[in-house]
Amino acid sequence: MSQEEDTDLRETPIRAMSLSTRHGLSEYLNGEQYITTSEGLCRDYRGLAQLMGFSYHIIDSLLRTNDPFSGLLDRYKNRSDATFGQLIQMLDRIERYDIIDDMTPFLREDSRHYKSLKPSNDSSEPNHQTMAIEPKIIIYDAYVCYADKDIGFVEQLSQYLESPNIGLRLFIRDRDLCLGSWAYESFAQMVTSQCRKVLIILSPHFLECPECDFQTAFTTGLAIEQRNRILIPIIHKRCDLPPIIRMLTKIDMTRSLDTPDWTWNRLVNSIRIHSANQSFVTKSVAYESKPTLLQLPSVPSDSPNGSQLISIETISDSCISLPTRCPTPTAPPLITTQSSVCSTNSEMSIKSDNSECLPILSTEKDKNSKKLIHKTWISLRQKFKS
C-alpha cells in the first residue's frame, strides 16, 4: 500500500463505504468467534463494539438483529474519528488479518470513489452531487412503549401531552418509526440518544408482548447503568406487575377517576424532570390551598351544677384538624389576672378586655377539677408543640 493510499484511507469517513463493502464485512464479522485475542477481545463485531466504546446493553441489543455489524456501523459512522484507517486499526487489534487482506482493496476503491466526488479547491462551481445535508437529530421528551391492543389509550395520551398547552414531544413507533428499520435496534438507539424518558403502558396485553418485555428490561438496565430515572410506568389496565416494576413508583390511571387533574399533572411533571437527583415534582399553583387552622374545642356555655368543666372525653371527642405545617397553637388561659376574674355563679363573667373566661372554682371538689383542667390543657399544649 502506497503512502498516498494510506493517507486516503485515514481521511475517508466510514459514511463513504459502499453497500457491497459493508455486506462483505458483515459476512466476516457477524459470525461469533469463540477464541479471543491476547487482549481478551472477541474476534467479531463484539470486539469492534468494545473498541468503539459502546456499552454492554448496546452490544446485547445488536445481538438480536439480523445484521449486527451493519447496526454497529450505523452508530459509529457519524463520529469525527470514524474513518477507513481507524477501522483497519481496530481489525488489526482483534487479530482479523484475513479481513484486512481481503477487504482492503474494496476499501481503497471506495476511498478513490469518495475522493473523485469531492469538489476541487479551484472549482468555481459547487459539485451538487457531494452536498449532503446532515439529518437533524430530534430529541423527544419520552418514548412510549405499549402493546398493539393499547393503541387507543396511547392516542389519548398523545392528544393530551402533545397539545399546545402541554407541549411535550412523544415518540410513538406506529407513527414515527421509519419503515424498514430493525425494531430492537431502533428502540436501543432512540432510548440511548434521542429520548429523555420511557413511558411503559402496563396492561395484560403488555405482559404478553415479547417486544415490550425486552424494552422494559433494556430501559431498566440502562437506568441502573446511568443512575437516572428514565422509566415511568403507567398502569392502564389492572395486571400482575413484573417484579422489576413493583419497586418503582407508578401512575395508576385506574384509580384516578376522582382526581384526574392531579394524575395528569403528576405525569407531565415527571416527564419534564431531567435530574437524576430530583424525586418530587413542584406542586402546581392550581392545587395550592389555604391550610386548615387547628380548631380547639370550644368552652361549653351551660353546666348543670353552675360551674363549667372541660373533661378529657370532651377534648378527645372534639374534631381537631391539623394542617401540614402550622404554628404551635396557643391555648386560651384558664385562670387570668385580677382584672379578669370571673364570678362563681353559672353565668360567664366578662374580663376587662370583654373576652370570656372560665369561672373560678371555690369548693375543694372544684379545686380538684381545676387541677384536672389545668393538667389537661398542659398535656394538650405539649402534644401540639411536639
Q: What is the dihedral of CA 37, 38, 39, 45, to 10 degrees?
A: -10
| pLDDT digits 0-9 by tens, 159-207 | 888 888 888 899 988 888 776 666 677 778 788 888 888 999 999 988 8
pLDDT tens over the chain, length 386 residues:
556 667 778 888 888 888 888 888 988 998 888 889 998 899 999 999 889 888 888 888 888 788 888 888 888 888 888 898 899 999 999 999 999 999 888 888 888 888 887 654 444 444 545 444 555 677 889 999 998 888 889 998 888 888 888 888 999 888 887 766 666 777 787 888 888 889 999 999 888 888 888 888 888 888 777 777 888 999 888 888 888 788 788 888 887 566 677 888 888 888 887 544 444 444 443 333 333 333 333 334 444 444 444 443 443 344 434 344 433 333 333 333 343 334 334 444 344 444 444 444 445 555 565 566 666 667 666 655 55
Closest of 18, 12, 23, 28 to residue 84, by C-alpha: 12
Domains of the chain with CATH codes: 3-117 (1.10.533.10), 140-287 (3.40.50.10140), 312-385 (no CATH)
Which residue is listed with cell 493517507?
Answer: 7
The grid coordinates listed for 326 are 402550622
Element (H, E) at 266: helix 260-272
3-state secondary structure of 170: strand
| pLDDT digits 0-9 by tens, 229-240 | 888 999 888 888
Q: Determine the Cα–Cα distance for residues 244 and 252; give it in Å rounded to an integer.
A: 17
